[in-house]
């Protein structure tokens, strides 16, 4: 297949309501497109025979050596880049005005660009409905301490938007040679003189260190790397786990009514991040191989073999609001409902709590002295 060929062009009849001619939108938790006006639903047929093909891994080394010789389909999509936060989200040519879902900044349609990107091989459809995500926002807000009273005037969960976020997944067989030290504890009895001048004995634990070396083998499957820099990594990765066993072949019909974000990190940059995710697991395997009561890993040399990757889209519900000039975001895993949010803090409420605690402590001290 020519990698510059658009592998899938949607027939507008497939996403147009046969009853009122409105644009159909994907209904979370189903495999249906639904008309937001009259409720008509059309089923999106998922070809289960194509799932294995959709989840086909691409050879990483061949791709970065000469991507022109690797059969990787590409797709053209129109994106608008936010001038404030830099997020690039897809846009509908019929939409006259819109806001950036990540920071609420008005998007300038004249700045829209057509980009040719690696086509996602699979996606996880939204399972959590917008209403459920909004309810999660309210529940989360109620649990927050020290929230400024005016925050609720600015937080608008009704603006919550569904975003398909790009990810890379990586598989690799790693071989790691290492050198280090193994520490084995042992006890000895020591004599000492106590504060009264009496001679005493005590048992002391010491560690005997031995130089070691070895090789460990660790296999990784579907190491997930978010392919954008729009949201803080600590927020995105805190939304895990994702149920990748529910991935289905990529079909643009599932994107109807939602936005998608273009990837910023390319395949090579994504793999560098994947290495940092793999590293703690490799170190733990090395320590287990060293054994003993304590371990020191002095050097390690990691080889990555049979490395493969694929491009997938995962669903997020996102709401953003500005408070005192700063953008705060609330995100919901569109597959599991797990939430993560940013929030302002009222310095006055914290000060009042500190004063209250100080007053209570002072009162207790005065009572105990009387």
How many CB atoms sit inside 10 A of residue 240's CB? 11
User: Is 13's pLDDT higher than 60?
Assistant: no
Classify residue 77: in a domain, yes or no.
yes
Confidence class for position 168, pLDDT limits 50, 70, 90: very high
Query: Looking at the predicted structure, is the pLDDT value of residue 70 above 80?
Result: no
- Is residue 199 one of the residues assigned to a domain? no
How would residue 241 be classed by pLDDT, with cut points 50, 70 and 90?
very high
- Provide the residue range defining the domain that includes 263: 12-184+210-359
User: CB-based contacts of 129: which residues, under 8 Å, 6+ apart?
Assistant: 28, 29
Under the banding of pLDDT at 50, 70 and 90, the label for residue 151 is low
Per-residue pLDDT, averaged over 91-106, amounts to 65
> Tell me, what's the pLDDT at 7?
39
Q: 189 lies in a domain? A: no
Q: For residue 190, tell me if it sits in a domain.
A: no
pTM: 0.81
Q: Which residue has the tokens 């500005």?
A: 322
pLDDT for position 20? 82
pLDDT at 298: 97
The answer to whether position 320 is within a domain reads yes
85 within a domain of the structure (yes/no): yes
Percent share of the chain, pLDDT over 70: 86
Least confident among 15-24, 41-50, 110-119, 126-135: 110-119
How many CB atoms within 10 Å of residue 294?
A: 13
**Window from 66-80, 273-287, 320-334 with minimum mean pLDDT:** 66-80
Going edge to edge, which strands form the sheet with 88-90?
A: 88-90, 74-81, 113-118
More confident residue, 162 or 149: 162
Please state the rounded mean pLDDT for residues 155-163.
Answer: 75
Write down the pLDDT at residue 2. 37
- pLDDT of 304 above 70: yes
User: Is 300 contained in some domain?
Assistant: yes
Q: What percent of the chain has pLDDT over 90?
A: 39
pLDDT of 4 reads 38
Per-residue pLDDT at 291 exceeds 70: yes
Read off the pLDDT of residues 25-42 as tens digits, 9 standing for 90 and up: 899 998 889 888 888 888
pLDDT band (50, 70, 90) for residue 118: confident
More confident site: 280 or 65: 280
Per-residue pLDDT reduced to its tens digit, 217-228: 999 999 999 999
Query: Is 2 part of any domain?
Result: no
Q: Which tokens belong to 249?
A: 């072949």
Q: Token pair of 49, please? A: 């025979």
In the chain, beta strands by DSSP E: 25-27, 32-34, 41-43, 58-59, 74-81, 88-90, 98-99, 106-107, 113-118, 122-123, 161-193, 199-226, 248-249, 259-260, 294-323, 326-333, 339-341
Question: For residues 89 and 244, which has the higher predicted lDDT (pLDDT)?
Answer: 244
Residue pLDDT, tens place only, 197-213: 889 899 999 999 999 99
Looking at per-residue pLDDT, the higher value among 310 and 151 belongs to 310
Number of domains comprising the chain: 1
Q: Is 185 helix (H, G, I), strand (E, B) or coil?
A: strand
Average pLDDT over residues 104-130: 82
210 CB-near residues (< 8 Å, 6+ apart): 181, 182, 183, 184, 292
């Amino acid at each position: 297949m020519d990698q510059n060929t658009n592998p899938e062009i949607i027939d507008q009849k497939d996403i147009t309501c046969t009853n009122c001619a409105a644009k159909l939108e994907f209904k979370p938790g189903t495999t249906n497109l639904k008309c937001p006006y009259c409720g008509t639903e059309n089923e999106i047929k998922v070809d289960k025979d194509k799932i294995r093909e959709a989840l086909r891994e691409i050879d990483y080394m061949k791709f970065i050596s000469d991507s022109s010789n690797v059969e990787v389909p590409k797709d053209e999509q129109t994106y608008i880049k936010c001038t404030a936060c830099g997020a690039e989200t897809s846009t509908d040519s019929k939409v006259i005005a819109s806001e950036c879902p990540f920071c609420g900044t008005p998007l300038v349609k004249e700045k829209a660009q057509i980009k040719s990107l690696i086509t996602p091989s699979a996606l996880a459809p939204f399972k959590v409905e917008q209403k459920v995500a909004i309810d999660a926002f309210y529940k989360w807000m109620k649990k927050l301490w020290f929230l400024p009273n005016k925050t609720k005037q600015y937080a608008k969960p009704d603006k919550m938007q569904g975003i398909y976020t790009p990810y890379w997944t990586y598989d690799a067989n790693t071989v790691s040679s290492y050198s280090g030290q193994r520490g084995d504890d042992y006890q000895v009895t020591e004599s000492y003189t106590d504060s009264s001048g009496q001679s005493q004995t005590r048992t002391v634990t010491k560690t005997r260190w031995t130089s070691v070396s070895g090789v460990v083998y660790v296999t990784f499957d579907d190491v997930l790397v978010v392919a954008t820099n729009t949201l803080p990594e600590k927020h995105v990765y805190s939304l895990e786990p994702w149920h990748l066993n529910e991935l289905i072949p990529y079909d643009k019909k599932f994107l109807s009514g939602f936005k998608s974000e273009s990837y910023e990190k390319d395949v090579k940059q994504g793999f560098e991040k994947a290495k940092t995710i793999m590293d703690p697991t490799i170190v733990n395997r090395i320590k287990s191989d060293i054994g003993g009561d304590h371990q020191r890993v002095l050097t390690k040399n990691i080889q990555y073999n049979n490395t493969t990757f694929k491009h997938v889209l995962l669903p997020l519900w996102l709401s953003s609001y500005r408070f005192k000039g700063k953008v705060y975001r609330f995100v919901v895993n569109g597959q599991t409902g797990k939430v993560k949010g940013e929030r302002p803090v009222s310095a006055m409420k914290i000060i009042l709590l500190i004063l209250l605690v100080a007053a209570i402590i002072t009162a207790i001290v005065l009572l105990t002295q009387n």
